[in-house]
Amino acid sequence: MKISILDDYFETVRSLSCFKQVDGHEVEIWHDHVQDVDALAERLKDTEILVLIRERTQIRTALLERLPKLKLISQRSVDPHIDVDCCSRLGIIVSSYQHTDTPCAPAAELTFALALSAMRQIPQQMQSLKAGNWQMGVGSTMRYKIFGIYGYGQIGAMVAGYAKAFGAEVLVWGSEASRLKAKADGYASASSVEQFFSVCDVLSLHLRLYPATRGIVKAEHLALMKPSALIVNTSRAGLIESGALEQALAAGRPGNAAVDVFDSEPLRDTSHALLNLPQVVCTPHIGYSTFDQYEIQFGDVFDQINAYLAGQPSHVVNPAVLQSAALRR
């Protein structure tokens, strides 16, 4: 089979132990990022199986209709970047293991690392030292702070555990089910979303991005935060109302931010407001990007490919397509 893998920025996939799962197939790996439909259609014109690395490339109707040989899209996690309805119409199977019972430890670790880094001003202190200026200010400790978790899922629960270990007081907000689970784990929940934003010293977002959660954090919520507070977003930029974070930081509430996600990725615009605010720590969406996580992720992706080739497609997002897809094989 002709397998194409997009957006492997650092040529990592071939170095993974799990890569042997696709031995015997013609595998082409692209290391740059391209979103132009014409360029993608040319690259993928002979592709039978397409492997995606999370949400790096949008796979929409205009492209799908120009890929007549495509039979399977295999990836891991959520699929808002794929036009699943169009895939169903064209008889293309979309397989994506959602791993709801397997938290992404790298994302949780980066979240807490960013929180500590922002509170202790580590990037700014490094820059000051390299410029020959020694210390540039005084940071804050995590101990005794109120650490807010917005969305108590698998990752949120891990971050809560880290915060507790550092002596912070964990406060949770989210759906009723989320708050009940947090209570069962021994954590308090806020009485309202307004109270949550107003009392947290650190507030970390851990929601999946769906139509219902897009823009769920609004300008009026951010305006309630303390001037000394820190907001951390390693989930999705779209959870925050467009432009609201930049405006809130300019107004001084909250006073600090740490972000790993942006509205447009990959972000190469060095004039972007968040990259140029001294009170913001930014990383380029590296939350899940570790060798360890890639082994897990691509192990699942390649398992899905082999299951499809064995006539037993797994983790199918659009199961109604299976009968028509069988006719195309």
Helix (H) or strand (E) holding 171: strand 169-173
Catalytic residue status for 81: no
Closest residue by Cα to residue 243 from 262, 267, 258: 262
The number of C-alpha atoms within 13 Å of 229 and in the hemisphere containing its C-beta is 28
With beta carbons less than 8 A apart as the criterion, state whether 254 and 227 touch: yes
Q: Which of 54, 76, 206, 236 is catalytic?
A: 236
Establish whether 109 is a catalytic residue.
Answer: no
Question: To 10 degrees, what angle do helices 154-165 and 176-184 make?
Answer: 40
Q: In the block, which residue shows the tokens 């907000």?
A: 173
- Helix, coil or strand: residue 107: helix
Rounded to whole angstroms, the Cα distance separating 102 from 234 reads: 17
Pick the catalytic residue: 54, 206, 221, 285? 285
Burial track 4-20 (b if 16+ CB lie within 10 A, e otherwise): bbbbbeeebbeebebbe
d(CA 166, CA 104): 20
49 contacts 69 by C-beta, under 8 angstroms: no
State the Cα–Cα distance between residues 216 and 209, nearest whole angstrom. Answer: 10
Indicate if 28 belongs to the active site.
no
Which neighbouring-strand residues pair with 28? 4
Helix/strand/coil for 246: helix
| From 169, 265, 272, 295, active-site residue | 265
Residues annotated as catalytic are: 236, 265, 285
